[in-house]
Structure 1
Amino acid sequence: MKNNPFWKKLRDYFSIYLPKQRSSSEKTIDTSHMAWNLLLRYLLQERGMTAGALEFESFTSELLTAFLDRMETVRHWKTSTRNNRLSCIRAFFKYASCTCPEAYVVHEDLRTIPLKKGIDSSRVVSHMAKDVIASIIGCIDILSPKGLRDCFYLTLMYDSAARNGEMLGLKLSDISTDNACICLFGKGSKPRLVPLTRETMAMFAKYKTSFHKGSDRSSPLFYTMHKGQKTPMSDDNVARFLKKYAIQTCSQNPHVPENVHPHMIRHSRAMHLYQGGMPLAVLSEFLGHEDPETTLIYAYADTEMKRQAVEKASESLPLTDIEMEFPAWEDADIIGRLVRGY
């Protein structure tokens, strides 16, 4: 396979192009790795192809469509996942087509595969009210070490509106006690500074005393012990303890959603800041949105602010002074005759 142009390009794509020339984030590279691992496994195990025989011409739009359909059936991919994996695979052929004419032909063929349309949920924001957030965090027993860790994690996540991936990637040095702020690394490893409240900083002091005595500043802020070493906490762990506390809170607060997930904390904080009067432009910077248009979802989704605006605009309208004339079909006898047909 050393002299196979396809394998050589694929190796260069992951070892040179993405990490060094494009400076892609680890998450972007991992997502692309996953897409290609699944595709190659499908070709070798289910289609009976051999690795040495794979070349650019092996990849056709019909073959790739069959792969995507198969993954939807077996792995229950959502429409967004299917489209994302398709984009990852096409991105490689776009890169390879610059120097390999045979890859250009394949790239043009794969471009004919349409992105699949799904339910448009772009303007739906799953969030929780302030009292629900307070109930979930308030039910945690901070007298236990794990309880203190979990409480500080959710408090910091809400205060900073951080993504779960940003939280898990934090180091001890990323929180500044001098400026009371946190440095978050968003998509594409782009940093942003977010101010923290006094309450969060006070909890950080307690957490640091319990979990980071003598720790190096480069230590992961949230960790689990593995073979005597501090390793960053996993997203599965976060989802697990958040779900546990949400279930505990259900008996006291009936408004706790059924499926509480970490990103809902970020959405909730963003919605509360918007409802509190933070301009969308500032909110966009606070959340680390590369495209300010993304932040508009909170304006679209906030029905309560729309209701208040409508009620305020309707205050001067003399609607209560209008004598309402009810239509004839309010008469039960007329409705009955209509149903009977005479």
Structure 2
Amino acid sequence: MKIDDRFFRLVRDFLLIYLPKNRCCSQNTVKAYRDTIHLLQVFMKEQKRVPFAKITFDRLNHALVSEFLDWLQTERKCRVSTRNHRLAALKSFFKYAAQEDASLMFAYVELGKVPVKRQPGRRVSYMSESGLAALLQEPDEGTKRGIRDRFFMIFLYDTGARIQEVLDLQLGDLHLKDSVPCVYLTGKRQKTRVVPLLNKTLQHLELYLQHFHPKEAYSSNNSLFYTVINGKTGKMSPDNVASFLKRYGASARLRCSEVPERVYPHLFRHTRAMHLYQSGMPLSYIKDFLGHASVNTTDIYASADVSMLKAALERTYVNGDIRPEIPVWEDNEELLLHLCGLQ
């Protein structure tokens, strides 16, 4: 009897050829798909006693995939959003498989029966200006590491960049001699956007470059942020960033209660977006600044700011009394007659 090897053969082609070469997906995107399929493999081995070589599309019906997603939430403690991301990754893979082998179209349709799990709306976490200021005061600028850590946080906030966008930056991405000094950020799906650098940011950048890139040209391919371990220079890792943010967050919270209990890279992005929105910047501009594909994604900031809602409500009161609503037809005889159908 011939072994059905289509699953692991298509997994290989999907991860090694289709995503990186045909779709030109980033390493992080490929990793996300790889992690999903790896978790499915772990589930099949541990829960179903099915080794990877014996996984077939026939086994992966909607009931089993639903069980896998439930396992992610109960055993792996994944959030609903993560569960939905895993399902989306599987659907993309099954769609690819059906395109490569028409006989697998049924498996793709079968997977479509698995619904996306609804999740309760959650508030966007962000820092107040006081909390942000307290956090930025924590690094010791009398040390080289303190200069680096403080500038890293300032750069995260001022550019509103994703953590990976910052870690991937090279000196050549800085365009400091342009009429408007800026940085080129490469985000999801390899889309590049230009973010202007403010004067205060440039001052901190100059201090950072003096200590960490004193002799290098801005056109070089060296990483803007790096670490030196055992004499070897390498790109700074997300774990390294998470470590010092956690440390500074804990110490800053002792001085300022407005510092959140958990300080993480994406918090700076949310904070920047909320501060821009509070200052009156239109959501369409914030969308472009953050590199969102749709303004629908940016809408979360419009629904998150209670202080702006409160201010709007207060504008309807005068000396504690509700401001009387002025009819649109007041002092307009012709409009009143028109509204009544008399003209």
Shorter-chain TM range is: 0.7 to 0.9
Per-residue CA deviation, residues 274-295 of structure 1 (Å, 9 max, x unaligned), is 1112121111111111101221
User: For the residues of structure 1 that align with 2:265 and 2:31, how far apart are their CA atoms?
Assistant: 21
The gaps in structure 2 that reach 5 residues or longer are: 325-343
Q: Equivalents in 2 of 1:277, 1:320: separation in Å?
A: 24
* Matching of residues 133-172 of structure 1 within 5 Å: 133-172=132-171
Report the CA distance between 1:318 and its aligned residue.
4.5
CA–CA distance in structure 1, aligned partners of residues 187 and 39 of structure 2: 27
Q: Does the aligned pair in 1 maintain the 2:316–2:322 contact within 8 Å?
A: no
Pairing 1:207–2:208 present: yes
Matches within 5 A, 1:219-234: 219-234=222-237
Deviation string for 1:200-243 (max 9, x for gaps)?
Answer: 11111121121123457211111122453322212122122112
Q: Structure 1: which amino acid aligns with 2:295?
A: P
Residue in structure 2 matched with residue 315 of structure 1 by the alignment:
318
1:230 match: secondary structure = strand
Alignment of 1:250-329 (within 5 A): 250-315=253-318, 318-319=321-322
CA deviation vs aligned residue, 1:170-210 (integer Å, no higher than 9, x gap): 11221222132111112112111111111211111121121
The DSSP-based 3-state class of the residue aligned with 1:58 is coil
Q: Structure 1 residue 117: deviation in Å?
A: 2.1
Structure 2 counterpart of 1:38, one-letter code: L
Whole-angstrom distance in 2 between the partners of 1:26 and 1:4: 26
SS class of match (1:56) = coil
Larger mean CA deviation between 66-75 and 266-275 belongs to 66-75
Equivalent residues in 2 for 1:50-89 (5 A)? Answer: 50-89=51-90
Q: Equivalents in 2 of 1:195, 1:16: separation in Å? A: 36
Structure 2 residue identity aligned to 1:106: A
What is the identity, as a one-letter code, of the residue corresponding to 1:50?
A: P
Find the aligned partners of 1:2 and 1:222 in 2 and give their Cα distance.
49
Contact kept in structure 2, 1:220 and 1:230, CA below 8 Å: no
Question: What whole-Å deviation, never above 9, does each CA across 1:8-36 have from its counterpart, x for those lacking one?
Answer: 22222112221222222222111000001
Superposition deviation, residue 41 in structure 1: 2.5
> Which residue does 1:10 correspond to in 2?
11
Equivalent AA in structure 1 for residue 71 of structure 2: R
In the alignment, residue 259 of structure 1 is paired with which amino acid? R
Q: C-alpha separation between the residues in 2 aligned to 1:80 and 1:257?
A: 22
Task: Tell me, in whole angstroms, the C-alpha distance in 2 between the residues paired with 1:4 and 1:139.
Answer: 56
What is the identity, as a one-letter code, of the residue corresponding to 1:29?
V
Moved more, 223-232 or 287-296: 223-232
Q: What is the distance in 2 between the residues matched to 1:316 and 1:120?
A: 35
Equivalent residues of 2:4, 2:56 under 8 A apart? no
Deviations 1:288-325 (A, max 9, x none): 1110122122221122122222222323885499xxxx
Q: Give the whole-Å Cα distance in 2 for the aligned partners of 1:298 and 1:51.
A: 43
After TM superposition, which residue ranges in structure 1, 4 or more long, deviate above 6 angstroms?
none
**Deviation, structure 1 residue 48:** 2.3
Equivalent pair of 1:57/1:102 in contact (CA under 8 Å): no
CA drift of 1:141 comes to: 0.6
Say if 1:161 and 1:5 are closer, same or farther in 2 by CA, change over 3 A.
same
Deviations 1:230-278 (A, max 9, x none): 2221212212211211221223222212122221111111111111121
The letter for the 1-side match of 2:275 is H
Letter in 2 for 1:60: N
Moved more, 148-157 or 24-33: 24-33
Unaligned 5+ runs, structure 1: 322-342
Whether contact under 8 Å (2:140, 2:146) holds in the other structure is: yes
- Give the CA RMSD over aligned residues: 2.3
Cα gap change, 1:271 to 1:320, in 2 (>3 Å): closer
TM-aligned CA distance change 1:184 to 1:2, over 3 Å: farther
Residue 153 of structure 1: CA displacement?
0.2
Aligned partners of 1:117, 1:277: CA distance in 2, in Å?
32
Aligned pairs (5 A) from 1:90-129: 90-121=91-122, 124-129=123-128
Matches of 1:80 and 1:280, distance apart in 2: 24
Q: 1:306 to 1:3 in 2, by over 3 A?
A: closer
Residue 316 of structure 2 contacts residue 323 of structure 2 at CA under 8 Å; is this kept in 1?
no
For these two proteins, the number of residue pairs brought into alignment is 319
Quote the Cα distance in structure 2 between the aligned partners of 1:319 and 1:93: 58
Q: Which moved more, 1:51-60 or 1:217-226?
A: 51-60
